[in-house]
Amino acid sequence: MKTISIIFICLFFTVVIILFFLGIKSQSGHAAGLVNGKLARCPDTPNCINSEYPEQQTHYTSPLKLLLKRKMSTSPINTLKDIIDEMGGMIETEENNYLAATFTSKIFRFVDDVEFRIDDETNLVHLRSASRVGRRDMGANKKRVDLIRQRYEKKLLSSR
């Protein structure tokens, strides 16, 4: 029984050390950015969600609807920046119709990238949320996108 306990403790600490180093590794890097004017596709790993590519069914989420600018009290980018700030994210890049932010987990300091692209032609805000390391995210990116969507729609309703 003592041997099993020692093995269990060693395995536990090995997993914790691996997660700690993955957290450190995720702190270097940056968002995928735009590729040919669109958000980058998700990799095959299940730790990414994206609204640009409906054919990637396991990664797809619907885009946000863009309220016409003349009906909004603030720009869509500023609304998204406020939401990111409220949720504890950090703005990394802001260009014309593109915004990139990072969110860092509390325990192991894993960094996830969240990107937005405003498509004025279709009146949509495309979004992508992806983990920088690992294969799984325990649904963190989908939950984050769902929360962003809820807050965005609430702000849109209150600005009318």
pLDDT tens digits for 31-67? 778 899 999 999 988 899 999 999 998 899 999 998 6
Domains observed in the chain? 2-158 (3.30.310.50)
pLDDT for 24: 64
Which residue's entry shows tokens 């720009």?
A: 75
pLDDT for 27: 67
Task: Give 3-state DSSP helix, strand, coil % of the chain, rounded to 5.
Answer: 35, 25, 40
Q: Which of 17-26, 28-37, 58-67, 122-131 is predicted with the least confidence, judged by mean pLDDT?
A: 17-26
